[in-house]
Structure 1
Amino acid sequence: MSAYANLERRLARREVILLDGAIGTRLQSMGVPMSGLAWAAAALESHPFTVRRMHEEYVAAGVDIITTNTYSSARHNLEPLGLGDKVVELNLRAVMLAQDARDRTAGDRPPLIAGSVSNFGLRVACEGDYEERRSETSEAQARANLRQQADILAEAGVDFLIAESTGGNIHRKWVVEACLATGLPVWPGFKVRQDERESMPRLGYSSPET
């Protein structure tokens, strides 16, 4: 039985599954500087052993899933730092660091590795006053970048992909589509807010394209 199939069985039994905690903010607390659109992904170039140590902390804590430090490592995130030509290298390195941390630290039940892909750095006008660093990437290029990143992570051997989101339903859809195209299982991430009129949870951001 594959590791992911076993995870599905545990979920079907309604077992509690522990994911790791924050990635970027944990690295920041460990003294790693964040770098604009690349955010924590720059650490793959400047602080790789700190990235591995962070993963090892989570593995030692007993999590069932660790997440690659690739939340902001698509080409449009790396290019402003002059790292666009290293998009393959750095995404592969992120997976290898997670795998190495698992192999060095895990006991008899090693955690699964989730590859993170997000729309961090992409923004559309309909999101109103939601403030976020913005990439001037075209839709076609953004889609290609996200697909490239998802493919790299899949080929590097992650167990499944997490389609993370920072708001913006248009770009959120692009991330999910890029992840699904790999054929791997995909966990979509989203935010919710309380609807004051109906006292019900709703998606955290709304737009005409929802």
Structure 2
Amino acid sequence: MPRRTPADALADGPLVLDGGLGTRLAERGADVSSALWSAAVLADRPELVLDVHREYLAAGADVVISASYQVSHDGFARAGLDRATTDAMLARSVELARRACEEAERGFVAASVGPYGATLGDGSEYRDLGLGVAELRAWHHDRLRVLADAAPDLLAIETVASLAEVEAIIAELDGVGVPAWVSVTPADGRLRSGEPLAEALAIAAASDDVLAVGVNCCPPDEVTDAIVAARSATSKPIVVYPNSGERWDAATRTWHGSGAFPEALVREWRDAGAALIGGCCRTGPDDVRTVARVLEQGR
């Protein structure tokens, strides 16, 4: 019998995504302070990564996102690690997520594909770095294929800040053979580059390789307007997974402000048309339980 796909599941109703991986690893005692962030834990303490995936599945997640967000060939090279090690860690990230799903006898694996800026480890994913489409295509090419070869259920293209990177990733998805969602990071209703949010989502949604489009790594109060922008661009499923609402200071590597992930907001996102809902930085299992409860109430 063919394995059930995320598209099959979405036909039955909205799906629950997991929460912040780095957040939960830090709460569990892992050191995520280096430029490699959670990727360092993937290399040094893989069992802890597996445990966090298990926690999110137990909290009600239908999709777990792999620990590959900051794993890249040049980022690992700066840390003194070779290409073979990088490839092994990319594959390990998918294998750990798959193992957790198999143990739970449920769930899908989304292989995280962070943007170029994320691998610099200094908050650069929140700004346009001025790279062109050709440069970004070359940078993403090998990593996408290594992750695809590890056989995830889909690719989670995350925290994209510019039209150029959206265009580059869409071009590189051609021939990869794994469906993807493309999620951009907005601020004040636009991309971090200042470019139109709806244009980015329309470019992504036009690809046959893209299952869903949406936003992540943004304040919760940005999400409803982003759903409206996404719906104006496409009829494809919409994915949303914001931060807790706290603000990241890349210079001091600290969070500021207070976080809130209220049930009423999750219900608002569901009613506005979001089909995959979860949390990003500073969210955890309790937030996933909230999402699962709201989505169950709507079925």
Provide the TM-score with structure 2 as the length reference.
0.56
- Structure 2 Cα separation of the partners of residues 181 and 36 of structure 1: 34
1:126-170 deviation digits (Å, cap 9, x = unpaired): xxxx952899x9976753342211111111110111111252332
Q: Secondary structure at 1:171's aligned position in 2?
A: helix
CA RMSD after TM alignment = 3.1
The AA in structure 2 aligned to 1:3 is: R
Q: CA distance change for structure 1 residues 144 and 202 in 2, over 3 Å: closer, same or farther?
A: closer
Q: Which residue of 1 aligns with 2:219?
A: none
Matched ranges for 1:1-210 at <5 A? 1-4=2-5, 7-13=6-12, 15-85=13-83, 86-104=85-103, 106-107=104-105, 110-121=106-117, 132=124, 143-194=137-188, 201-207=189-195
Specify the alignment match of 1:197 in structure 2.
Answer: none
Change (3 A) 1:29 1:64: same
Q: Secondary structure at the match of 1:177?
A: helix
How many Å separate the matches in 2 of 1:50 and 1:18? 22
**Maintained 8 Å contact 1:76/1:142:** no
Any conservation in 1 of the 2:162–2:192 contact (CA below 8 Å)?
no
Quick one: structure 1 residues 90 and 21, their matched pair in 2 at CA, closer, same or farther if it must change by over 3 Å? same
Q: Take 1:95 and 1:33, find their aligned partners in 2: how far apart are those partners?
A: 21
How many residues in Structure 1 have an aligned counterpart in Structure 2?
191
Shift of 1:207: 4.5
Deviation at 1:64, TM superposition (A): 0.9
- Greater fraction strand: 2
Contact 2:157 2:180 in 1 (8 A): yes
How far apart, in 2, do the equivalents of 1:59 and 1:155 lie? 24
**Unaligned segments of structure 2, at least 5 residues:** 201-299
Q: Deviations over 1:71-106 (max 9, x none)?
A: 1111122111112331111111111111122222x1
Q: Matched residue of 1:154: which SS? A: helix
Percent of counterpart pairs with the same letter? 28
CA contact (8 A) 2:133 2:168 kept: no
Listed one character per residue, the Cα deviations across residues 162-194 of structure 1 (whole Å, up to 9, x for unaligned) are 111252332343334333441211100012344
Q: Which runs of 5+ in 1 are unaligned?
A: 124-129, 195-200
Instruction: Give the 3 Å change call, closer, same or farther, for CA 69–2 of structure 1 in structure 2.
Output: same
| Residue identity matched to 1:206 | G
User: What amino acid sits opposite 1:150 in the alignment?
Assistant: L
Quick one: which amino acid aligns to residue 113 of structure 2? V
8 Å CA contact retained: 1:95, 1:158: yes
Residue 69 of structure 1 aligns with an amino acid whose one-letter code is A
CA distance in 2, matches of 1:56, 1:131: 28
Q: CA 1:48–1:141 in 2, change beyond 3 Å: closer, same or farther?
A: farther
What's 1:126 paired with?
none
Q: Partners of 1:120 and 1:26 in 2: how far apart? A: 23
Is 2:16–2:63's contact at 8 Å kept on the other side of the alignment? yes
Amino acid at match of 1:81: A
